[in-house]
Amino acid sequence: MAAIHLARRVRVERWLCGLALLVVVAPVGMWLFNGSRHLSPPATAGTRAIHKVLFLSIDTLRADAVSALNPVAPPTPSLDSLASDSLVFTRAYSPAPWTLPSFVSMMTGVAPQVHGVKTPRQRIPESLMTLAERMRESGYITAAIGHNPWLRPEHGMSRGFEGYDICPRDEYGGSLGSRLLARLFPGRLKPTLTTPEITRFADDWLHEHAHDDFFLWLHYFKPHGPYEPPEAYRPRENPPAGMGYRFGGAPAIRMGSVVIPPPQRLWVRELYEGEVRFVDDNVGELTAEMKRLGIYDETLIVFASDHGEEFWEHGSFEHGHTLYEELIRVPFFIKLPGEGLKLRDDRRVSTGSIYATVLGLCGIKDDPRWLSYGPLTPRFRGGLLNDDPVLSASPLYYEDREAWIQGSTKCIHSRVTDRMQIFDLTRDPNEERDLSMTSPEKTRKAFDDLASLREADDALREHYRIRGEYPAAIDPEVLEQLRSLGYVH
């Protein structure tokens, strides 16, 4: 069946749901309810500096898995091509080592210690405006397409989006009507989207809105585990004994019930790299379609990952458990419309700056004093960036930690044990020599810096009147799904 436009698909699905509910005597009117917050009237198109914005994100993508950043990585020609058209930040960091707090920071410009969304049971405080809300308020059509179990409306991630098609979704609920629809229209109301489906739906959406001013967020879930690349992207050699072409053992590895020996670890990494090459080809299809539509050159494209992935560099696997480089060092490119800045910048920056940078480039006013991550716009105007600390925090597993990087010094503080680790990333990029053990002076300075950072966090929380936690109303079925993925215990 030929692909249909995403917006039309969603309208048809909602109509079908209403029909099914009517069959079981449920009011059709409830399916016409739109829970979006009211936003200000749109600005005129003539006041916008940039008319089209694509935020392209790929889940679980390490910086060194992209050949534009690591010449010995398996080739990623599509991302490399995008990099050649972009300002490439070669030392970019994510605000957190797992999806939810990382994207909340990217969408609000404040650190996890400020917004407080550090567990699966929390949501974005209402006092924080999201990037999508600001863009919609300024007159852009806003939409999101993709897949990740964390990016749910219950967490506030859909705020500001007129169309929000981030799966897995349960927008039709577990009602008798939705179960009836599943039988009547198998495959139509899919709870998930594959990598090619995400690409196809994005292409359809861009076709429909090629002449509009828009902000589109497109999120690919792969190479997130379980790793199961299509046959054409599998390693050429046969799997080692006890392994296959699929690997999804993260929960068992975290609990210590499964130990993967070194030869099998290399195979796991190769499966991951196959997933990376697969999503890279899909990015190539997307950008090729944008060029066919004549909108690639005029679109601001911001590309980043939410976090990296560990392959036993520090004795463990997957993500969400530490703040070491393999988990928070990510690719980050910004392609301006037209013949914009095309170079590499080695200064350490955070993807948390996406909020302020997109607003600044689009000519939308904001006050950087009330952000944890300032705008990168000075770099696009020939200036230099401030040497502010780069912040990352809030692992999902084990002890809560916070990290900051200034210059070549990286500090990681464990909040429960009060342990401080200090690394010189220039001399020790693999974080193997903790300087806190041999340098009391550096350790004292690190604790002084931590006190200053906490004062800044407290000031931001007071400004936004963020007090306590903001619980998310997560459906028990969703919690069970997250539990099956090893995210919730």
Q: Are 204 and 6 in contact (CB under 8 A)?
A: yes
Residue 420's DSSP bridge partners are 413
pLDDT in tens, 268-303: 999 999 999 999 999 999 999 999 999 999 999 999
pLDDT at res. 40: 41
Round to whole Å and give the CA distance between 462 and 20: 47
Query: Does residue 445 form part of some domain?
Result: no
Query: Is residue 255 pLDDT above 50, yes or no?
Result: yes
CATH number for 212: 3.40.720.10
pLDDT tens-place string over residues 378-404: 888 777 677 789 999 999 999 999 999
* pLDDT above 70 for 489: no
Q: Determine the pLDDT at residue 383.
A: 72
| 163 assigned to some structural domain | yes
Q: CA dist 39 to 8, 141, 154, 222, Å? A: 24, 13, 19, 33
pLDDT the model gives residue 469: 83
Domains identified in the chain, total number: 1
Rounded Cα gap, residues 22 and 319, in angstroms = 44
pLDDT value of residue 169? 56
- Choice between 38 and 186, residue whose per-residue pLDDT is larger: 186
Q: Which residue has the tokens 């190769």?
A: 270
Q: How far apart, in whole angstroms, are the C-alpha atoms of residue 394 and residue 102?
A: 9
pLDDT tens track for 323-377: 999 999 999 999 999 988 899 999 999 999 999 999 999 999 999 999 999 999 9
Q: What pLDDT shows up at residue 50?
A: 96
139: its two tokens: 């007159």
Q: Answer whether residue 2 is part of any domain.
A: no
Q: Is residue 400 part of a domain?
A: no
Q: Is residue 173 part of a domain?
A: yes
In a domain, 412, yes or no: no
pTM: 0.87
pLDDT tier for residue 17 given thresholds of 50, 70 and 90: very low
Q: Is residue 301 part of a domain?
A: yes
**pLDDT (0 to 100) of residue 390:** 97
Question: CB count, 10 Å around CB of 226?
Answer: 13
Proportion of the chain above pLDDT 90, given as a percent: 72
Average pLDDT of the chain, as a whole number: 87
For the chain, state the CA radius of gyration.
22
> Which stretch of 98-102, 167-171, 251-255, 344-348 has the lowest confidence by average pLDDT?
167-171
Domain range for 227 is: 49-387+459-484
Q: At a CB cut-off of 8 Å and minimum separation 6, what does 285 contact?
A: 199, 203
Does 28 fall in a domain?
Answer: no
Backbone conformation region of residue 119, classed left if phi is above 0, alpha if psi is from -120 to 50, else beta: beta
- DSSP annotation string for 10-55: HHHHHHHHHHHHHHTT--GGGGG---PPP-PPPPPGGG-S-SEEEE
Q: What pLDDT score was predicted for residue 481?
A: 66
Q: Which residues sit opposite 343 in a β-bridge?
A: 87
Q: 298-332 burial by CB neighbour count: b if 16+ within 10 A, else e?
A: ebbbbbbbbbbbbbeeeebbbbbbbbbbbbbbbbb
Residue 172 pLDDT class (50, 70, 90 cuts): very low
- In the block, which residue shows the tokens 């190479």? 223
Which residues contact residue 124 at a Cβ distance below 8 angstroms, ignoring those fewer than 6 apart? 104, 107, 108, 115, 117, 130, 155, 156, 157, 159, 470
**Which residue, chain included where needed, has tokens 């419309």?**
337
- Residue 39 above 80 pLDDT? no
What are the pLDDT digits (tens) for 173-209? 444 444 454 455 444 445 679 999 999 999 999 999 9
Note the maximum CA span of the chain. Answer: 73
Residue with tokens 């340098």: 439
Mean pLDDT for 51-57 is: 99
The span from the CA of 422 to the CA of 323, in Å, is: 12
| 425, two tokens | 């990333």
